[in-house]
Chain A
């Protein structure tokens, strides 16, 4: 009987700014992908200056991680202005890889910045092994990021057939349409989806008419907003398939989201690869609960178990009922059992509070005492971004995050 393979893959996390980049690394990301001020999708993410990129690379190197930079817009003629210098800068700054969707950018990068790895973006919709191998041979790219339309069978065959590592998405928002081929946003808002302006028109509501006859009511409007991906149930299969890098989506997401999701996957990957056997249902459920704590949208396993149908779409409007945890704030300091916190959401005495700290299992306590910055004892806190102090039954590191379960 052949032994199952548990080669530990890279955990690749998103970051919209330097704080989130450092958070991702501290909470266990092996690599972080981020965008510069130009050439990147997600134009509304608070993208990185060149100084930020240098600092991110230095921080990553210090912690044994690496930085990937998205150069993944579908470029128009003028978008090449300054690109060569930018690629050279990324190489010199210590960036490990660029993620590119334009084959000519891939080739250019290999010519002018040969130390940079080139990763072929999911925007190119690579869904089979021959397409992946062809892109590798045509562009010299070092890694292929698979389309989110791949099933597990596709992934297994592609990873076993191609000559370079393969990266696959495991968590976060999903385009319901083939990435790079959707221009709904262009039509609806004139914002170019392929250059970072996507307005997520797929999540809007539509009437459906057949020969001018309305098929829906106000309660049954058509929408195509996809559930977010949450691939924990198939993570073991992805690892055994030989996927080299597991990618979390979400450069627009908060520091809390990044910390929660990265931490959850870090623990799951480590546990799977250390034990070299499938986890019990209860352990998997534990990790899944951790990963979903920061989610405010319904999730599914992506197209890995089979192309998504009815259960892959969110038909109802978003409500606060989708939020299962509230982020309370970031710990500023903790001395002699009293921590100082900058608040984000309401906090009440007797709340059950969880502490997320890099490299540690989450701990929790029941809040018995807190005061405002003047030392006045308070029963509740309702003002965001205020400083409060609270008693905790254990020491907590600065930078730790607090949350409470709302369910």
Chain B
């Protein structure tokens, strides 16, 4: 494994991720399917290596703005650009394509589709986190330039509709949905709280648990890179996760740090690594 990458919300988090041995990935405008704070690359030059997340579907009327935003990220020096809308491939030249990671969250679940996207000349492909450890291992063994998501609150759904605003408007409930990172959904027969986030173009729901891969990262080192999602993680939890993974893949024993991490961050679990979804 060559690198750990992590979604960040600001320069301070980015510097922490860098210090922990990772590559910070900013969210550009509202182009990302995550809840990290957007970073304006026009206003602030980034004095260190970084990536940019821009992986939501793009509507027809947004195409030109999307292109401008991708080209800005490229000019600003982004090392990697995450995308899922195939429209990017219409304007990306060979050099830009090599920076791009196809990252549709859920759609890359097998080696053949991963290889298909890599054959478009892009730099990498993000494997779905819905797979078992064996399935993930098989894909990263079969295809080069695979990235795996290893940590964080997982994105469960993305709606183009502003669902919290719609609910507020329907019932006249007083709260501000847009940009509010203090909201959770709790299904009425359960106890788990799922973070929910609405911006001006979408509503996203995240897992109640923190997906983690501390025990399996050594088995998945054939992946070229790994990603830690920063959505709804504290800066401390985000940076410490990057540090631990980076240390483990360099051969160090982090048993005590992992134990402490799990004690400090309730609800850590291995997602679907040991539990295959059913039809």
Please tell me if A133 contacts chain B, counting CB pairs below 8 Å.
yes
Is the pair A74, B107 in contact by a Cβ cutoff of 8 Å?
A: yes
Asked if A207 contacts B186 (CB within 8 A), the reply is yes
Q: CB distance A138 to B120 under 8 Å?
A: yes
If the complex has contacts A154-B61, A177-B158, A184-B205, are A312 and B166 also in contact, measured as CB distance less than 8 A? yes
A104 to B113, CA, bound (A): 5
Among the listed stretches B19-27, B85-93, B231-239, B254-262, which one makes contact with chain A, having 4 or more residues with CB under 8 Å of it? B85-93
Q: Mark A168-211, 1 if CB is under 8 A from B, else 0.
A: 00000000111011111011101110111100011011111111
B104 lies within 8 A of chain A by Cβ: yes
Q: What is the CA–CA distance of A177 and B232 in the complex, to the nearest angstrom?
A: 21
Interface centre among B117, B160, B166, B207 (most CB of A within 10 A): B160
Query: Which residues of A lie under 8 Å from residue B182 when comparing CB positions?
Result: 210-211
Within 8 Å of chain B (Cβ to Cβ): is A130? yes
Interface string of A205-249 (1 = CB under 8 A from B): 111111100011000111110000000000000000000000000
Distance, CA A108 to CA B59, complexed state (A): 29
Contacts of B2 in A (CB 8 A): none
Q: Contact check, B104 vs A181: say whether CB atoms are below 8 A apart.
A: yes
Contact B169 A310 (CB under 8 A): yes
**A299 CB to nearest chain B CB (Å):** 16
Given A77-B111, A206-B185: A313 and B167 within 8 A (CB)? yes
Q: Which residues of A contact B279 (CB under 8 A)?
A: 43, 191-192, 195-197
Binding stretch for chain A, among B9-17, B130-138, B220-228, B240-248 = B130-138
Check if B106 is an interface residue, CB within 8 A of chain A: yes
Interfacial residues of chain B within 168-202, with CB under 8 A of chain A in the complex:
169-171, 173, 175, 180, 182-188, 193-194, 196
Q: Which residues of A lie under 8 Å from residue B164 when comparing CB positions?
A: 208, 222
Given A104-B110, A182-B157, A210-B175, A204 contacting B188 (CB threshold 8 A) = yes
Does A9 count as interface, using CB distance less than 8 angstroms? Answer: no
Cα A317 to Cα B182 in complex, Å, equals 27
Q: Are B60 and A125 in contact (CB under 8 A)?
A: no
- A187–B156 Cα distance when bound, in Å, is 8
**B268 adjacent to chain A (CB < 8 Å):** no
Q: Are A220 and B171 in contact (CB under 8 A)?
A: yes
Contacts of A207 in B (CB 8 A): 185-186, 188
- How distant is the Cα of A76 from the Cα of B275 in the complex, in angstroms? 14
What residues of B have a CB within 8 angstroms of the CB of A180 in the complex? 104, 106-107
A128–B107 CB distance below 8 A: no
Q: Within 8 Å of chain B (Cβ to Cβ): is A307?
A: yes
Q: How far is the CB of B264 from chain A (nearest CB, A)?
A: 19
B92-130 Cβ-contact flags toward A at 8 Å (1 or 0): 000000000000111101111101110010000000101
B209 CB to closest chain A CB (Å) equals 9
B161 contacts chain A at the CB level, 8 A cutoff:
yes
Who on chain A is nearest to B162 by CB? Answer: A309
Chain B residues, Cβ within 8 Å of A309: 161-162, 165-166, 169
Decide if A345 is an interface residue (CB 8 Å cutoff): no
Q: Is the CB of B180 within 8 A of A178?
A: no
B63 contacts A by Cβ under 8 Å: yes
Q: Are A131 and B87 in contact (CB under 8 A)?
A: yes
A135 vs B120: C-alpha distance when bound (angstroms): 11
- Pick from B59, B154, B156: contact of A154, CB below 8 A: B59
A residues in contact with B110, CB < 8 Å: 75-77, 79-80, 102, 104
Contacts of B183 in A (CB 8 A): 208-210
Q: Which residues does chain A contribute within 8 Å of B109, judged by CB atoms?
A: 74-76, 194
**Chain A contacts of B87 at CB under 8 A?**
128, 130-131, 134
Which chain A positions have C-beta within 8 A of B104?
180-181
Interface size on A, residues (CB 8 A): 77
Q: Say yes or no: is A157 at the interface (Cβ < 8 Å to chain B).
A: yes
Decide if B77 is an interface residue (CB 8 Å cutoff).
Answer: no
Given that A131-B58, A310-B170, A313-B166 are known contacts, is A184 also in contact with B113, CB under 8 Å in the complex?
Answer: no
Q: Are A215 and B173 closer than 8 Å at their CB atoms? A: yes
Closest to A224 in B: B163
Q: Interface stretch among A25-33, A145-153, A289-297?
A: A145-153
Is residue A103 contacting chain B, with contact meaning CB distance below 8 A? Answer: yes
Among A103, A131, A183, A313, contact of B85 (Cβ-Cβ < 8 Å):
A131
Those of A73-87 within 8 Å (CB) of chain B: 74-77, 79-80
A183 near B166 (CB under 8 angstroms)?
Answer: no
Whether B160 contacts A149 by the Cβ 8 Å rule is: yes
State in angstroms the CA–CA spacing of A377 and B162 once bound together: 57
Docked Cα-Cα span, A255 to B30, in Å, equals: 44
- Measured in the bound complex, the distance between the Cα atoms of B170 and A294 in whole Å is 27
A149 and B139 contacting across the interface, CB-CB below 8 Å: no
Question: Once bound together, how far apart are the Cα atoms of A76 and B279, in whole Å?
Answer: 12
Q: Are A103 and B275 in contact (CB under 8 A)?
A: no
Inter-subunit contact A131/B86 (CB<8 Å):
yes
Which residues from A are CB-within-8-Å of B112?
Answer: 80, 102, 104, 108
What A residues does B205 contact at CB under 8 A?
Answer: 184
Closest A residue to B167 by beta carbon equals A222
With an 8 A cutoff between CB atoms, is A158 at the interface? yes
Whether, in the assembled complex, B266 has its beta carbon less than 8 Å from a beta carbon of chain A, the answer is no
Closest to A312 in B: B161
**A155's closest neighbor in chain B, by CB?**
B60
B132 → A minimal CB distance (Å): 9
A selection of 11 A-B contacts at a CB cut-off of 8 Å is A74-B106, A101-B107, A128-B62, A131-B86, A184-B205, A191-B279, A194-B109, A206-B188, A207-B185, A207-B186, A208-B164
Spell out A's residues near B (CB within 8 Å).
Answer: 43, 74-77, 79-80, 101-104, 107-108, 123-131, 133-135, 138, 147, 149-151, 153-154, 157-158, 176-178, 180-184, 186-188, 190-192, 194-197, 201-202, 204-211, 215-216, 220-224, 303, 307-310, 312-313, 315
